[in-house]
Structure 1
């Protein structure tokens, strides 16, 4: 296969991000017709359909393969510009996927140095949020170049690094405990106790209940609050029991604003950093650390401070 057109690959990446031809054209500062022409040229070159023209549009499996290639080329361009001491053209963005609880606790401080450097050098960092068991899917599909995940096994073409363990605890407000759970959480009070759940993918509250009460596949009375910070606030307001990172509520528990149920029971979630091996890794070592490696190093250092 001949060398692929980098501008066409940029179009594919923009279409994957924006999910429409119109928004992709606006992002690339070209016409919608130009986006279509470049995509058709790329599809003709590889001999396969890359995008399903639906609303919103979606990438085919061959399209996802090329998307991974396009993301890596963008990262390499960013690294080249950094080595040359010039700002990146078009304000390149490096996408990584993280879980909401890590984002709410330790990830932002860990990445602050990278982001501040990006402001000077012209590159951006894009954070995609999903449940920790599903961030790995974003990496597999080529949507991002790295992810924080509970998955231990590395994908082919990726490297993985253990970050540490995030303990989860169950908390309620003092008022809720006194009014609704005077004897604490037990098998008789469990059925009438609402649990605050991030979304339908979130199984951490059910895992905690299984450990605390010895129930197999417990059916929870769920109240969905799709925000880590929102779950803590809802627990403070007496909406129910929140199973949250101990790191996130340590101060609230020490001040008595939240009460920890069954302190001897917790759910330990092991986290790992995954990243693609960039296409240039077989070449001579660059003078500066590659941006994706820099992100991984920053996350590892931040996790070492915050996690077990």
Structure 2
């Protein structure tokens, strides 16, 4: 197979990011017809479609394979430009996927030094947020170069490193406990008690109830709050019982605005860092992984 044109690969990456031809053209500062031409050239070279022209635009399986390659090439070009002291493209950024709870607690402090250097040198970072059980899909599909995930097994061509365990505990506000659970939360009333849930992928609450009361596949009254910070705020306001990261609710428990429920029960989620092993290596991607590992050890106490 012939070498792929880097401009065409950048075009495919822009289409994946923008999910449309018009916005991809704006991102690349070229015309829509030029985007279409580059894509057609790449599809002719591969011999199969790379995108599904829908709204929003979607990549085919072949497109995802080439997207992964395009991301890796972009990362290597940034590394080379830095080493040669050249100008880094304003579009250059490394994309990684993280779960919302890690982002709300330890990820930003862990990456702060890396990002500050990036501001000085011209390269950027994109954080893609998803549930920790699903960030691995973004890595497999080529959307990101690394991810924080609960998956322990590395994809072919990737390496994996354990980060530590994020412990989830059940909490509620003193007012909620006084009015809704005067006799405490127990096996006889959990089904009628509102539980805060991040989104439909989130099953920490069910896992906690299953452990606490020995119930298989419990059905809960769910109140969805799809933001880590807002989730804790909702618990403080008395919207329901929350199952949240212990490191996130620790100051609220100390202040008395949240009360732990069954402190002997927790949901322990082991997190791992995955990254593609690029040909020749990527100093920037390696530094991201090292920063996350160091930050996780400090925050999670492991």
Considering the TM-score relative to the shorter chain, is it more than 0.5? yes
The alpha carbon displacement at 1:279 in A equals 2.2
Deviation by residue 1:146-196 (Cα, 9 ceiling, x = unmatched): 000000000000000000000000000000011111111101221211110
Q: CA contact under 8 A between 2:192 and 2:220: conserved in structure 1? A: no
Please give the alpha-carbon distance, in whole angstroms, between the structure 1 residues aligned to 2:298 and 2:193: 35
Please give the alpha-carbon distance, in whole angstroms, between the structure 1 residues aligned to 2:162 and 2:14: 31
The alpha carbon displacement at 1:87 in A equals 3.1
The alpha carbon displacement at 1:234 in A equals 0.3
Partner of 2:10: 10
Matched, 1:261 2:261: yes
Matched, 1:60 2:60: yes
Please give the alpha-carbon distance, in whole angstroms, between the structure 2 residues aligned to 1:12 and 1:224: 35
Please give the alpha-carbon distance, in whole angstroms, between the structure 2 residues aligned to 1:201 and 1:224: 11
Q: CA contact under 8 A between 2:234 and 2:240: conserved in structure 1? A: yes
Q: For 1:270, what is the secondary structure of its paired residue?
A: strand
Please give the alpha-carbon distance, in whole angstroms, between the structure 1 residues aligned to 2:103 and 2:12: 28
Match 1:306 to one of 283, 294, 299: 299
Please give the alpha-carbon distance, in whole angstroms, between the structure 1 residues aligned to 2:273 and 2:191: 37
Q: CA contact under 8 A between 1:194 and 1:241: conserved in structure 2? A: yes
The alpha carbon displacement at 1:85 in A equals 2.2
Please give the alpha-carbon distance, in whole angstroms, between the structure 2 residues aligned to 1:47 and 1:90: 32
Q: CA contact under 8 A between 1:171 and 1:261: conserved in structure 2? A: yes
Q: For 1:94, what is the secondary structure of its paired residue?
A: strand
Partner of 2:284: 291
Please give the alpha-carbon distance, in whole angstroms, between the structure 2 residues aligned to 1:14 and 1:243: 38
The alpha carbon displacement at 1:86 in A equals 2.8
Please give the alpha-carbon distance, in whole angstroms, between the structure 2 residues aligned to 1:204 and 1:223: 13
Q: For 2:226, what is the secondary structure of its paired residue?
A: coil
Partner of 2:198: 198
Unaligned runs of 5+ in 2: none
Q: For 1:216, what is the secondary structure of its paired residue?
A: coil
Aligned alpha-carbon RMSD (Å): 0.8
Q: CA contact under 8 A between 2:171 and 2:242: conserved in structure 1? A: yes
TM-score (norm 2): 0.98
Q: For 1:191, what is the secondary structure of its paired residue?
A: helix
How many residue pairs were aligned? 301
Matched, 1:92 2:102: no
Unaligned runs of 5+ in 1: 282-288
Partner of 2:155: 155
Please give the alpha-carbon distance, in whole angstroms, between the structure 2 residues aligned to 1:86 and 1:245: 43
Listed as ranges, the matches of 1:25-174 within 5 Å are 25-174=25-174
Partner of 1:243: 243
The alpha carbon displacement at 1:89 in A equals 1.6
Partner of 1:286: none
The alpha carbon displacement at 1:93 in A equals 1.1
Q: For 1:161, what is the secondary structure of its paired residue?
A: strand
Please give the alpha-carbon distance, in whole angstroms, between the structure 2 residues aligned to 1:108 and 1:10: 28
Q: CA contact under 8 A between 1:91 and 1:122: conserved in structure 2? A: no
Q: CA contact under 8 A between 1:87 and 1:123: conserved in structure 2? A: no
Structure 1: 4+ residue segments shifted above 4 A: none
Deviation by residue 1:178-223 (Cα, 9 ceiling, x = unmatched): 1111111101221211110010000111100101111100001100
Q: For 1:183, what is the secondary structure of its paired residue?
A: coil
More off after superposition, 267-276 vs 84-93:
84-93
